[in-house]
């Protein structure tokens, strides 16, 4: 894994768990901790898929404006 990945994985994990940690201190109107863990996991999954998608889009735009053929 590259240095960027070693940095981004914990950052995305902490970003996805922060709503769960905040919910544990406040009363969440009947929503259990398991639900918040599930929501945090889904948020982590979505955030981890955004980064490769953006990198692919940037590579596509870069190659498009360079004049390279993609096929």
The whole-number pLDDT of residue 35 equals 86
Contact 28, 19 (CB under 8 A): no
Nearest of 13, 12, 33 to residue 22 by alpha carbon: 33
Contact 36, 28 (CB under 8 A): yes
For every one of its 71 residues, what pLDDT tens digit does the chain have, with 9 covering 90 and above?
577 777 777 777 777 776 766 666 555 566 788 888 898 899 988 888 898 899 999 988 888 888 766 55
End-to-end CA separation in angstroms for the chain: 28
The whole-number pLDDT of residue 2 equals 74
The whole-number pLDDT of residue 14 equals 73
The whole-number pLDDT of residue 15 equals 73
């Amino acid at each position: 894994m590259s240095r960027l990945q070693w940095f981004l994985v914990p950052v995305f994990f902490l970003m996805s768990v922060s709503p769960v940690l905040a919910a544990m201190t406040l009363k969440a109107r009947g929503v259990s901790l398991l639900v918040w863990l599930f929501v945090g996991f889904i948020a982590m999954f979505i955030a981890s898929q955004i980064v490769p998608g953006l990198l692919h889009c940037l590579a596509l735009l870069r190659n498009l404006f360079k004049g390279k053929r993609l096929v």
